[in-house]
Amino acid sequence: MARGPLTSPRKTATQERSRQTVNVLLEATARILVKEGYDKASTNKIAVAAGVSIGSLYQYFPTKEALVAGVVERHMREMLDLVRADLAEVATGPVDEAVRRLVAAMIEAHRVDPKLHRVLVEQIPRTGRLENIENMDRETHKLVRAYLEARRDELAVSDLDTAAFICVKTVEALSHSAVLGEPRMLRKERVEHFTDEVTRLIVRYLRG
């Protein structure tokens, strides 16, 4: 895209500054959400924590909902990226390997920022733009469904949608509960065991 020298679509200083501010605000929001919980995370507190005036905050995010949605989307994207990357690597591999990777990736994804994840899942009111918190699952569902479809003849499943639904929800729920509710289940010496068990659960279901 960049032909000559200096023609590269460099961001203007202003654009750069804006991006900066947006970033700073999202990070401050995440921090405050974790520290104070959703209810006590006021936009004024967030602005102070970000070192940005409340006026500027509203320049970039017109409502509190938009601000929180920003954090949610960023967090979910991060998690999804991990899963997507891992799944891509095994997209053409055997089922047991693929499932194991899915499980490991999902656990890893929940470890990106467990405290933030908990707040987002447990406390954010699902209204407006925030209704779609479960988007990640929908995306994962698509990926898994596509994989199952490709491997259909190896599998003993009647209904691809139900199968994908079960795989994704199950792996997600177990990762979530293990990371957030039973951290001792994921101590170094036991992660392997846990991953094995979940993998077995899914593989047997799929293979029949």
* Site residues (vs a copy of itself, CB under 8 A): 37-39, 121-127, 134, 159, 162-163, 165-166, 169-170, 172-174, 177-178, 181-182, 185, 193-194, 197-198, 200-201, 204-205
Binding-site string for DNA from residue 54 to residue 93, where x marks contact by CB under 7 A and - marks none: xxx-xxx-xxxx----------------------------
Q: Residue 8 or residue 138: which is nearer to a copy of itself going by CB?
A: 138
Binding segment toward DNA, per CB under 7 A, in 47-55, 128-136, 177-185, 199-207: 47-55
Q: Measured between alpha carbons, how far is 198 from 109 in angstroms, rounded to an integer? A: 16
Contact 107, 193 (CB under 8 A): no
In the list DNA, a copy of itself, none, the entry touching 115 (Cβ below 5 to 8 angstroms by class) is none
Residue by residue, DSSP assigns 27-65 as HHHHHHHHHHHHHH--HHHHHHHHT--HHHHHHH-SSHH
In the list a copy of itself, DNA, none, the entry touching 165 (Cβ below 5 to 8 angstroms by class) is a copy of itself
In the list a copy of itself, DNA, none, the entry touching 74 (Cβ below 5 to 8 angstroms by class) is none
> Is 123 among the residues that bind DNA (CB under 7 A)?
no
Among 26, 32, 33, 41, contact with DNA (rule: CB under 7 A): 41
Residue 24 Cβ vs DNA, minimum distance, rounded to whole Å: 9
Q: Measured between alpha carbons, how far is 191 from 183 in angstroms, rounded to an integer? A: 10
Contact 203, 95 (CB under 8 A): yes
Q: How many CA atoms lie within 13 A of 208 on its CB side?
A: 8
Reduce the DSSP state of residue 149 to 3 states and report it.
Answer: helix
In the list DNA, a copy of itself, none, the entry touching 134 (Cβ below 5 to 8 angstroms by class) is a copy of itself
Mention every residue, 6+ apart, whose C-beta is less than 8 A from residue 173: none
